């Protein structure tokens, strides 16, 4: 361990758009931001689709393996919505949310259709540069 530990950014590639995975991602962002760690979020495919301004609060389902009983508990738990957790992370620290330019094109999504939590649109090279040598988590 050195005094540099934990000073590298945490980079999250959000690919899945189910509410359970988006919540897991947002919880990591909150934890890292609260520790003063820079967080880069890169939205692709189904996660990007879930960040359309008019769909954020839709029911995005759970991963297919969610059994009936766990699913019922997860849905009933009245937890904070992932968009709210991500908003808290942005207030607590340095969190940048970027839409993947290629996924925007593939899915036919325009910049003005995205939720205000999204800070911009960038390519994978810009994301990789921002990630530097920090961990990259694909969710």
Residue choice 34, 53, 57, 116 for contact with its own copies (CB under 8 A): 34
Which range in 24-32, 90-98, 111-119 contacts its own copies by CB under 8 A? 24-32
Cα–Cα distance, 96 to 49 (Å, whole number): 18
Which range in 86-94, 110-118, 119-127 contacts its own copies by CB under 8 A? 119-127
Helix (H, G, I), strand (E, B) or coil at 55: coil
3-state helix, strand, coil split of the chain in percent (to 5) is 45, 15, 40
Contact predicate 9/133, CB 8 Å:
no
The phi, psi pair for 53, rounded to 5°, reads: -55, -35
Helix (H, G, I), strand (E, B) or coil at 64: coil
Q: Is 36 in the site for its own copies (CB under 8 A)?
A: no
Residue choice 3, 54, 59, 64 for contact with its own copies (CB under 8 A): 64
Q: Is 115 in the site for its own copies (CB under 8 A)?
A: no
Residue 21 or 90 having the CB closest to its own copies: 21
Q: Could you tell me how many residues of this chain bind its own copies (CB under 8 A)?
A: 59
Contact predicate 95/89, CB 8 Å:
yes
Q: Is 91 in the site for its own copies (CB under 8 A)?
A: no
CB atoms within 10 A of CB 121: 19
Q: Give the interface with its own copies as residue ranges (CB under 8 A).
A: 1, 4-8, 10-11, 13, 15-18, 20-21, 24, 27-28, 30-32, 34-35, 37, 44-46, 49, 61, 63-67, 70, 73-74, 77, 79, 102, 105-108, 123-125, 127-129, 131-139
């Amino acid at each position: 361990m050195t005094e540099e530990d934990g000073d590298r950014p945490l980079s999250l590639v959000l690919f899945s758009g189910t509410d359970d995975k988006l919540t897991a991602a947002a919880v990591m962002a909150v934890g890292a931001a609260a520790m003063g760690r820079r967080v880069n979020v890169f939205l692709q495919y189904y996660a990007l689709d879930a960040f359309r301004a008019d769909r954020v609060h839709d029911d995005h389902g759970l991963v297919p393996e969610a059994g009936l009983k766990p699913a019922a508990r997860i849905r009933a738990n009245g937890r904070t919505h992932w968009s709210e957790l991500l908003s808290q992370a942005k207030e607590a620290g340095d969190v940048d949310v970027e839409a993947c330019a290629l996924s925007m094109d593939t899915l036919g999504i325009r910049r003005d259709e995205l939720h205000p939590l999204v800070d911009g649109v960038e390519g994978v090279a810009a994301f990789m540069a921002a990630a530097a040598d920090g961990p990259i988590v694909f969710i």
